[in-house]
Structure 1
């Protein structure tokens, strides 16, 4: 069979599998609807998300009154507040018919009920065949612990992108909904976390052997800004050790870097005598051949190991590079969050929290944490204006200036290759239409916001070099943030 026909057959089999899973989830929801009293589950949680004992007692009394005796069929609350309850024995029969355990069957039924009754927009897309069942189930499992209002917020925000939304996006949206609709619990959790920071070195536990007694374990829960600062220092000293001739692997050098930090040493000690210093050419050759980490101290990928090392780091005799103690955190927040003014949440209409988004780690934080970080002595804060992402910016040069790169990576936060979820901030920026130098007849403004796409290094190589089919991937820009990809076998992906 030709490879193109084989690929078509594989895609057809996958489509049938997706259709079957979709029909299964829809059928399970119908089975649950046929075995319910129609009573909706109350919100059994009160202030600060603590269980409401009275609500629990009332629900239990209603079940007992309905069935008359302990041990009879009961109604299960398998989804969140506002979803109908379902017969326990009906779930047991369905689980048996599907060859599932009771626990697995309850999880499946709970996902179907949660999606149909608490995520109606997402469910409508499932019925229309526009989203796979596994994506709907994953979202349903994430929203089950939210209030009905919070689940509705997630449904409205994610329904139009559920077919492509990755787990990071979904989880962050669920956390945002929880913070918006239950700000009290968020504040309590933040206070508890700050009060329970710790760092321990296990210096007292007896070693398992004399040979292992020379090392101790460490454990801790650190403030995020402090942890970012510590990570930067460890990474740079570990890389400096490599440049100084260390043959240890990255994990060992990171552990040793903590010792230099503990002794207050920003610079590695000079070796005694010229005999202990490497010749510059030998040093550069060792770094180039080592291939175990990148310039920033992290583990290198296979493609990065094949690239030439950076040459702008001074490593000559007598030269030591001090690690920079600069941590860059890209934060998005409002002016009200900066001043600490009370905020009426635009979604809930109630007094809520000022929230901030930390782009570097894809994390949502309270503005109180950001203000505390900014108040630390020596902190350098840069406030940038809001960027108009609809504005077209273009230059004639091949190199991409920061003002264009920032717009591209804010418009598309992940690699633009189909189904790739690698972050755009660490990806290459590729010219959708191949760049032609102006002195060779190329038009002006080729490097622009509508002719660039973020591509991770692997997918950039797939677009640049031919595959076994003899052709590379091809891409056509449709609009900012949207591309049409054509595979070497002619398959197209939007």
Structure 2
């Protein structure tokens, strides 16, 4: 690419960045204005007060304007008729405007930290609204817990991460309901194999497909066992030259597993000759202290949750490979580990303030776990892919006969496969590639971050809070 073409391309990308920034600022300002409008049409009562419960207004009030509960407990109620003004100004339906006003009220009164970042243009409005919609059913204290913990990463937190945090807040501040729902979920487990007369026929054409549907709801530990076995058998089928389609091999694996059980339909057996049974393996990365196990603090007083100030709230942070992450109750962990045929592996807590290095190219598990704990996502600008499945890239290229300690916790960064390729290979049009380096705090750059340079020379800073153009004045 010649100099003039490069200048034109850079100007075009700069225009995209500037227009995007202007649109983000304008959208944030409009959202804040909606919140201001709602605040001017609120009542002194708040959601959760007995007199504001819908249906308890007198007939005269119901015939005209009335106050609606648009936010969660603790948020003020909002006059219904004011929403029509918002709908007309936005050119949208009343229902869409009602949802918008509800999200604005939720953020303004129950999630002030996230609201401040949205108002400043640091977090996209749609991300703030996604968080507001997830916290609507939480208590006021639980919503504050989510607000404090998600605000600093609101710009890049995924929906699943927000949902996990909301579930943890609900468990911490309403443990009775959470435990009741967990036990109720046990009764919802099922496994169905559709073997009806027409299950194997196409409902539209009537032609025979020769397949049936299998669906169900399993306990998490049972699901992990099944997934591990299905994946193992599917891999074996692939090695034997079976169908290259993984989905087909996984479906065939269930049949292979059933046939390997030799048609046994009962768990009864001769005590002297018990059948061989695979041991359940549970690998738990759990942040849990001794007080949660004993129920007392240092064996003296009751266990007090630091976040809620209440007793008897013991949550474990589950971070198990292949399993959904999040908080689970101690009782559920105990139920998983109680079976006599279960092997429990305890992983030590990783101290992210230390550094470790080896001389070989491939990092050992302790270094890989350290890097992925420090960087939960791919470090490419704006990427949200988990570091669990990402490649570990040497920022400074590994030299076969180079200095010792090149594979270290400071020189390895997670990159998903696509962005690893982008970093490794040159772009066709420019002949350049994406490059990155760790920041230098001595040069006034933020610590614990990396700075990327695009093929056009544009730079982006990535840290645990998200991505932003660098230097800041560029926007």
Q: Distance in 2 between matches of 1:458 and 1:352?
A: 46
**1: CA distance, partners of 2:292 / 2:225:** 22
1:42 and 2:5 correspond: no
CA RMSD of aligned residues (A): 2.5
Q: Which structure carries more strand by proportion? A: 2
1:445-491 Cα shifts (integer Å, max 9, x gaps): 22211111111111111111111322111111127752111111112
The equivalent of 1:398 in structure 2 is: 361
**Once the 2 structures are TM-superposed, how far is the Cα of residue 332 of structure 1 from its aligned partner?**
1.1
CA deviations over 1:400-429 (Å, ceiling 9, x no partner): 122211111111111111111111111111
Match of 2:228 among 228, 232, 246: 232
Unaligned runs of 5+ in 1: 44-54, 267-323
Question: Which residue of 13, 22, 28 corresponds with 2:28?
Answer: 22
Aligned to 2:473: none
Provide the C-alpha distance between the structure 2 equivalents of 1:326 and 1:421, rounded to a whole number of angstroms: 32
Give the aligned partner of residue 215 of structure 1: 211
* Larger RCO (CA within 8 A; separation ≥ 6): 2
Q: 1:331 aligns with which of 285, 310, 314?
A: 285
Distance 1:34 1:338 in 2: 46
TM-score, with length taken from structure 2: 0.82
Cross-structure match for 2:272: none
Alignment of 1:7 with 2:13, yes or no, is: yes
> What is the deviation of 1:58?
5.8
In the alignment, is residue 491 of structure 1 matched against residue 458 of structure 2? yes
User: Is contact 2:284-2:347 (8 Å) kept?
Assistant: no
Match of 2:251 among 255, 277, 281: 255
Shift of 1:370: 1.7
Cα deviation, 1:186-232, whole Å, max 9, x if unaligned, reads 10111011122211222245444785384332221111111111111
After the TM superposition, which residues 78-477 of structure 1 pair with which residues of structure 2 at under 5 Å, given as runs? 78-207=70-199, 208=201, 212=208, 214-247=210-243, 249-264=245-260, 329-336=283-290, 339=293, 341=295, 343-359=303-319, 360=321, 361-437=324-400, 439=401, 442-467=402-427, 468-477=429-438
Quick one: distance in 2 between partners of 1:398 and 1:328?
Answer: 30
Q: Which of the numbers 52, 58, 62 marks the counterpart of 1:64?
A: 58
Secondary structure at the counterpart of residue 246 of structure 1: coil
**Contact persistence 1:63–1:75 (CA under 8 A):** no
Q: CA separation of 1:456/1:109 partners in 2, compared to 1, >3 Å: closer, same or farther? A: same
Q: Which residue pairs with 1:273 in the alignment?
A: none
Deviation at 1:8, TM superposition (A): 0.6
Write the distance in 1 (CA, Å) between the matches of 2:24 and 2:317: 34
SS of corresponding position for 1:339: helix
CA positional deviation for 1:86: 1.2
**Given the alignment, which residue of 439, 444, 455 partners 1:478?**
439
- Whole-Å Cα distance in 1 between the matches of residues 123 and 254 of structure 2? 48
Instruction: Look up the SS of the partner of 2:355 in the other structure.
Output: coil
Preserved contact between residue 229 and residue 325 of structure 1 (Cα < 8 Å): no
Deviation at 1:333, TM superposition (A): 3.2
Deviation of 1:357 (Å): 2.6
Distance in 2 separating the partners of 1:97 and 1:5: 35
* C-alpha spacing 1:126/1:248, structure 2 compared with 1 (3 Å): closer
